[in-house]
Amino acid sequence: MKILIDAIRQLARYPSAIAGLIIIGTLIGMSFYAVITIPYSEAIKLWQGRDGVWNEIPRNAEPKWVNLFPGINLPETFILNSEDIVSKSLQPLGGGIKKIEKRMEFDFGYDCFPQEMSLFFDATYDERPPHVFLTWLTPDGREINLAERRADAPYRISLDRDLAREIGGLAPEVGLFADPFAEEIVPLQGRYGLQITGWLFEEDSSLDVRLVVFGQVHGIAGTDHMRRDLMVALLWGAPIALTFGFLAAVGVTASTFIIAAIGVWFGRWVDAVIRWITQVNIILPVLPILIIVGTFYSRSIWVMLGVIIALSIFSAGIFVYRAMFLQIKGMPYIEAAKAYGASNFRIIFQYMLPKLVPVLIPAFVMTIPAMVFLEASLAVLGLGDPLLPTWGKVLKDAWVNGALLMGHYYWVLLPSALLMMTGLGFAMVGYALDRIFNPRLRES
Amino acid sequence: MLAVSVRRGVENKILFSAKDLCTWFELRRWGFFRVGSVKAVDGVSFELRRGETITIVGESGCGKSTLAKTILGLCLPARGELNFDGKRLNGLNTRQMRSHRSKIGYIQQDPYGALPPFMTVRRILEEPLRINKTGKKEEMKRRVREVLAEVKLTPVEDFIDKFPHMLSGGQQQRVVIARSIVMKPRLIVADEPISMLDASVRIEILELIRGLQHAHNLGVIYITHDLSTVRHFSEHIAVMYGAKFAEKAKVKDILDNPLHPYTRALLSAVPKLDPANVTTFKEVPPGEPPSLLKPPSGCRFHPRCYAIIKGLCDVESPLEFEAKKGHSVACWLYRK
Amino acid sequence: MKKDGLLRVEDLCLHFRTNKGLVQAVDGVSFGLGRGLTLVVVGEAGCGKSSLARAILRLLPRNVHTYTGRIFLNGVDIMKLGEERFRREVRWSKLAFVPQAAINSLNPVVKVGNQVAEPLLVHRLAKTKSEAIARAREACELVGLPGDFLSRYAFELSGGMRQRAIIAMALAARPALVVLDEPTSALDVLTQANIMNLLKGIKQKFKTSFILITHDIATSSELADIAAIMYAGQVVELCNASQFYREPLHPYSQKLIASVPSLRQEKRPEFIPGQPPSLLNPPKGCRFTGRCLSRSNRCEKEPPLVEVKEGRRVKCWLYQ
Ligand SMILES: Nc1ncnc2c1ncn2[C@@H]1O[C@H](COP(=O)(O)OP(=O)(O)OP(=O)(O)O)[C@@H](O)[C@H]1O
Ligand SMILES: Nc1ncnc2c1ncn2[C@@H]1O[C@H](COP(=O)(O)OP(=O)(O)OP(=O)(O)O)[C@@H](O)[C@H]1O
Ligand code: SF4
Ligand SMILES: [Mg+2]
Ligand SMILES: [Mg+2]
């Protein structure tokens, strides 16, 4: 314990280590924030996109901060609902039929067209849904009839082909906002309106509408092709990556270490068997085995963790540690311990292992990012955990959907940056630890 | 004080004896085929009484450390008999062997290497007590302070929580000595306890071991390659050459009247403080110490011996002749 | 022959930077040495003997803080030479070094002969590899290493033979001065006597000068013409060796001589109680005060190194 406290105190003398610690601290902070604000079940639900949670969020939207760059002014999503209604009237027509008129208005001041438009109805009725007639009002006073339809399903304005034909072959979200007198197709800025005329056929029927004008930007991280906010995956990726990396590193380094020590101490056939298994294991290709397990058994991250640890126990590291333990085995203090009656396992655990802790700790710290990368690569190869949102899976989606070809660089950039920061942070701390614990390496 | 203790020593009963002790290391190729054996200890006999010291002296590689390890039970003898405190040690099982070992203190050559670098002095001294489950925590704590005081690492507080690398070589060796007596042993095996230490602290360490010996009536087996220190710190000397004892006698007998040609060479090589050394060359026997894998026939010293009797020394191994009472020498020159 | 004809060291200082503070390993050391003579530097562990050797050879670690003073070799101030010139013209060709514990640092995978020849090639003292090997063979013969040992590996050699190989390496370029840092402390007495005989022979035959660093006073008497007694980074006594062995003046030297065990004498050797001061914050005055039996108030100020008799200097207030 003392050795750790000492190490941390000494770390403060290395600026790179401090930077590394800050990165690691940020990642850990992120993990806690993620786990506290988005509980596990919530995160899974969000990531699976059940119950239409992402309905009002644009597809493949860029992060909002791109608007901070000069010359970029991408529209945000805005939602018009009852609060934006400027006039409203209800007129009974007799026979239980009512005519309802609503008009909502909003300001549009962007240089870009929105990405998509949808109108969601919130209607109550028993048998006969209300009927609506929709008119689009432009700032220059034009009135465009959108559609006449039943208010029982969302009206996907952007998908309305008749409308598109009517406004000159442009996609509705473009045509409705385009400046009719401009040479190029540019948005006309100003106050737009939507006039809704509805007929209610039942006594207690009611009608409410929401117009969603999907922007080009969303959130801090943007969204993917399934309208999912990438922030969920980026946030939740941190605790998953760290936990996975930490557990895998513990499993791999500790077990390798202990087995090497046992082999060296008992020598003879124990050592021979360990060496033999290691030699065989080294030629076994890890990735194909993981792919086989992932394909035929389970892609659960915990199964993968288990397989990785199992395959790495008898890794080449054993030979490295073995050479070191062989030296330690011949040290006089081990002989002294034997002379005063220490048992085999006491010698291994209390006398041999602690001597190499200085080598183990930096190795352990540097194994963490290696394991994080391994998990990400598995995810990119399609062997990611089926449920959990991870950085690797974001990358995989980006890749499969040709994110870079389509210019959705943010989709690749953010998870890669996080992965790289993780590697950088741990590597910087690891190197500093190595220098602190093994100063001789530096002197010669 | 010295005379008293020697007298007391003589009255004491035999603490340790070895008879025709042999320790061989098998050499195997690919861990399987026997290619031969290194006979590192080959037919050694001696006895030691309580309160006495026997010095075992010899060149590097002659088997001194192997003899020490055999006595401690760290190497199994191939042949011969070991008796400690009236009990035969051959054929003990692992558990008995462990408890036997804890009754013999072990002081090693390299004090820094002999201490686990990651343990504090307190922990180092507690280890043997914990392992052998002696008494309660309080007792253990008391004992640790007691031995630290005994090796004069006082005030105890200044040393008890230090790591070995924070101590000087002499202080490290004191910790090693403290550890060797923490189990209250009756015999101490000191394998070159001062050869890695600075000349200025060597005498201090030897005085300390001597003092502990007198205080607890310990038997000491003192291994060294340098006879210059033995006069004041030992009662008996056994000169070892090529895994065998060449000569064995009281200290005075050997220092004042060495008989074996090898002993004479060894004594003349001992560094002496004499300004005249600058101009005189030392007489050193030619050649190198014998290989223990293929020792020379006959007397092991014959290839380097100036007094060789051709036809005898190079053919027949010399017997141990008793030149005087208590002074035995394995050399044909003294055949009766 | 002038006493400092070959080497003169003046006010040499070597301080190291550590995270606990400055370590004053060598602090104002001066001495002179003539051709064919041997200076022994004796002192306790950690008193700065090896650092003195490194300072003379300019083999410095990275954390050097101060490195000052003058070193004249054949009248030339070698401290003023640039690193490259020093390496080419001084180190190894005129000044050779046998480092402490070198027998354990021989390369296990290179044949001994090639290792002996290596410095000749590195320092461009031999033009071709075969010339270097030939000279290495010569040097090996000189130190009594049989020719067939040249093609063996270090681990096949005994400690004594390895030490001979190391000495051959230092002698191969026929330097005027060889600095030997504890060349025999790891060896047993017979081998030690052998090596000392060898060095004595070389000294007589080639008039090579040696600086022998050791903590073993009895062994030092084998080679010493001049003795420098070092305590806590400073030289406290500098005199002819026989004067030091017969009649040491500094209280520390007296204690040292009294601690030498002797085979035949009945007198029991004594030891010096206490410990040398830390070189991190050495005491202001005389550094030996803490252990000195003749100390007085004066000793709180640093004593000068005064010339007591012809060529005999002592750093102690008793001889003012
Ligand atoms: N485990 C071993 N296996 C094979 N040979 C060994 C082993 N231990 C020691 N030897 C050999 O036995 C001989 C005696 O070794 P030992 O260590 O007892 O010598 P020593 O007299 O203590 O020497 P030193 O003064 O160098 O310590 C040496 O030749 C050594 O190479
Ligand atoms: N590179 C270094 N950095 C800091 N301190 C050092 C360095 N090298 C040596 N020292 C310190 O300087 C002091 C003198 O060391 P040096 O090796 O010169 O002593 P020495 O007299 O040769 O000792 P020994 O007899 O143990 O070889 C010691 O206290 C040592 O810890
Ligand atoms: S037995 Fe012969 S060879 Fe051996 S020591 Fe005696 S005289 Fe020399
Ligand atoms: Mg030994
Ligand atoms: Mg040194």
When computed from its CA atoms, the radius of gyration of chain A, rounded to whole angstroms, is: 31
Q: Whose CA is nearest to atom 7 of ligand 2?
A: C16
Query: What distance in Å separates residue B303's CA from the closest CA in chain C?
Result: 16
Is A220 among the domain residues? no
pLDDT tens-place string over residues B52-97: 999 999 988 888 999 999 998 888 888 888 888 888 887 777 777 7
Q: Which domain holds residue A143?
A: 75-214
Q: Searching chain B, which residue's CA lies closest to the CA of residue C198?
A: B281
Is C48 among the domain residues? yes
Last residue of a domain, one of A181, A214, A247: A214
Is C196 among the domain residues? no
Among residues 186-225 of chain B, which lie with CB inside 8 Å of chain A?
Answer: none
Query: Of the candidates A340, A354, A355, which has its C-beta nearest B128's C-beta?
Result: A340
Kindly state the tokens that stand for A371.
């394991």
* Cross-chain residue pair B227–C269, CB shorter than 8 Å: no
* Cross-chain residue pair B116–A268, CB shorter than 8 Å: no
* Cross-chain residue pair B114–A336, CB shorter than 8 Å: yes
Q: What percent of chain A has pLDDT over 70?
A: 96
Cβ contacts from A onto B, under 8 A: 61
Q: What angle do CA B170, B171, B177 make, to 5 degrees?
A: 90
Last residue of a domain, one of A214, A241, A256: A214
The CATH number of the domain where B265 resides is what? 3.40.50.300
| Across A375-389, B113-127, B183-197, C195-209, least confident range | A375-389
**Spatial contact of A131 and A199, defined as CB atoms under 8 Å apart:** yes
Task: Decide whether any atom of ligand 2 lies within 6 Å of the C51 Cβ.
Answer: yes
Q: Whose CA is nearest to atom 29 of ligand 2?
A: C46
pLDDT tens-place string over residues A61-82: 777 777 788 777 777 777 877 7
Task: Name the pLDDT band for B189 (thresholds 50, 70, 90).
Answer: very high
Q: Which residue has the higher pLDDT, C137 or A407?
A: C137
Q: What angle do CA C154, C158, C161 make, to 5 degrees?
A: 80
* Cross-chain residue pair B228–C246, CB shorter than 8 Å: no
Task: Decide whether any atom of ligand 2 lies within 6 Å of the C49 Cβ.
Answer: yes
Is C52 among the domain residues? yes
Measure C193 CA to ligand 5 centroid, in angstroms: 21
For the segment A7-19, the average pLDDT, to the nearest whole number, is 82
Q: What percent of chain B has pLDDT over 70?
A: 95
Is B71 among the domain residues? yes
Q: Which domain holds residue B67?
A: 14-272+282-289
Kindly state the tokens that stand for B274.
């004499």
Residues C76 and C144 in one domain: no
Task: Decide whether any atom of ligand 3 lies within 6 Å of the B308 Cβ.
Answer: yes
What is the spatial distance between Cα C257 and Cα C37, in angstroms, rounded to a whole number? 22
* Cross-chain residue pair B116–A354, CB shorter than 8 Å: yes
Last residue of a domain, one of A191, A214, A237: A214
* Cross-chain residue pair A333–B113, CB shorter than 8 Å: yes
Task: Name the pLDDT band for A1 (thresholds 50, 70, 90).
Answer: low
Residues A436 and A322 in one domain: yes
Query: Which atom of ligand 3 is least distant from the CA of B305?
Result: 8
Task: Decide whether any atom of ligand 1 lies within 6 Å of the B189 Cβ.
Answer: no
Q: What angle do CA B87, B90, B94 make, to 5 degrees?
A: 100
Is A219 among the domain residues? no
Residues C140 and C14 in one domain: no
Is A335 among the domain residues? yes
What is the spatial distance between Cα C286 and Cα C299, in angstroms, rounded to a whole number? 6
The CATH number of the domain where A242 resides is what? 1.10.3720
Containing A20, the helix (H) or strand (E) segment is helix A15-37
Domain count, chain B: 1
The CATH number of the domain where C63 resides is what? 3.40.50.300
Q: What is the pLDDT of residue C70?
A: 93
* Cross-chain residue pair B273–C270, CB shorter than 8 Å: no
Residues C156 and C23 in one domain: no
Residues A169 and A273 in one domain: no
Cis status, amide bond into C99, omega within 30 of 0: no
Residues A118 and A28 in one domain: no
DSSP for A90-102, written as a single string: EEEEETTEEEEEE
The CATH number of the domain where A84 resides is what? 2.60.120
For the segment A128-133, the average pLDDT, to the nearest whole number, is 86
Kindly state the tokens that stand for B37.
């054996």
What is the separation, in whole angstroms, between the first and last Cα of chain C?
Answer: 30
Assess B113–A contact: CB distance below 8 Å, yes or no.
Answer: yes
Q: What is the pLDDT of residue C37?
A: 92
Task: Decide whether any atom of ligand 3 lies within 6 Å of the B307 Cβ.
Answer: yes
Residues C70 and C103 in one domain: no
At CB < 8 Å, which residues of chain B contact C? 59-61, 168-170, 197-204, 207, 225-229, 231-232, 255, 265-275, 277-278, 281-282, 284-285, 288-289
Query: Which atom of ligand 1 is least distant from the CA of B69?
Result: 18
Among A228, A40, A198, A192, smallest CA distance to A106 is for A192
* Cross-chain residue pair C221–B288, CB shorter than 8 Å: no
The yes-or-no verdict on residue A443 having pLDDT over 50 is: no
Query: Of the candidates C187, C221, C270, which has its C-beta nearest B273's C-beta?
Result: C221
Kindly state the tokens that stand for C173.
């370029």
Residues A334 and A267 in one domain: yes
Domain count, chain C: 2
Q: What is the pLDDT of residue A134?
A: 86
Select from C42, C50, C59 the residue to mutate for testing ligand 2; criterion: most ligand atoms less than 8 Å from CB.
C50
Assess C4–B contact: CB distance below 8 Å, yes or no.
Answer: no
For the segment B125-133, the average pLDDT, to the nearest whole number, is 87
Q: Mean pLDDT in chain B?
A: 86
Task: Name the pLDDT band for C251 (thresholds 50, 70, 90).
Answer: very high
At CB < 8 Å, which residues of chain A contact B? 3, 268, 272, 331-333, 335-343, 346, 351, 354-355, 357
The yes-or-no verdict on residue A444 having pLDDT over 60 is: no
For the segment C289-309, the average pLDDT, to the nearest whole number, is 88
ipTM greater than 0.90: no
Residues A194 and A79 in one domain: yes
Is B261 among the domain residues? yes
Among residues 171-190 of chain B, which lie with CB inside 8 Å of chain A?
Answer: 176, 179, 183
Assess C104–B contact: CB distance below 8 Å, yes or no.
Answer: no
Ligand that comes closest to the CA of residue B58: 1
pLDDT tens-place string over residues A90-106: 888 777 788 888 888 88
- Biggest CA-to-CA distance, chain C: 65
Is B222 among the domain residues? yes
Measure B107 CA to ligand 3 centroid, in angstroms: 33
Q: What is the pLDDT of residue B238?
A: 93
Domain count, chain A: 2
Q: Searching chain C, which residue's CA lies closest to the CA of residue B253?
A: C264
Contacts of C274 in chain B (CB under 8 A): none
Containing C256, the helix (H) or strand (E) segment is helix C251-258
Query: Which atom of ligand 1 is least distant from the CA of B75?
Result: 1
| Across A178-192, B55-69, C18-32, least confident range | A178-192
The yes-or-no verdict on residue C11 having pLDDT over 90 is: yes
Task: Decide whether any atom of ligand 2 lies within 6 Å of the C215 Cβ.
Answer: yes
What is the reported pTM? 0.81
Is A233 among the domain residues? yes
What is the spatial distance between Cα B45 and Cα B83, in angstroms, rounded to a whole number? 11
DSSP for C95-162, written as a single string: EEEE-TTGGG-S-TTSBHHHHHHHHHHHTT-SSSHHHHHHHHHHHHHHTT--GGGGGSBGGGS-HHHH
Task: Decide whether any atom of ligand 3 lies within 6 Å of the B261 Cβ.
Answer: yes
Q: Whose CA is nearest to atom 28 of ligand 2?
A: C46
Contacts of B73 in chain A (CB under 8 A): 339
Residues A204 and A237 in one domain: no
For the segment C242-252, the average pLDDT, to the nearest whole number, is 91
- Biggest CA-to-CA distance, chain A: 108
For the segment A364-378, the average pLDDT, to the nearest whole number, is 86
Residues A190 and A245 in one domain: no
The yes-or-no verdict on residue B9 having pLDDT over 70 is: no
Q: What is the pLDDT of residue A2?
A: 66
Q: What is the pLDDT of residue A103?
A: 86
Q: Which domain holds residue C145?
A: 95-174
Measure C100 CA to ligand 5 centroid, in angstroms: 6
Residues A321 and A278 in one domain: yes
What is the spatial distance between Cα A55 and Cα A213, in angstroms, rounded to a whole number? 12
The yes-or-no verdict on residue A442 having pLDDT over 50 is: no
Task: Name the pLDDT band for C1 (thresholds 50, 70, 90).
Answer: very low
The yes-or-no verdict on residue A211 having pLDDT over 70 is: yes
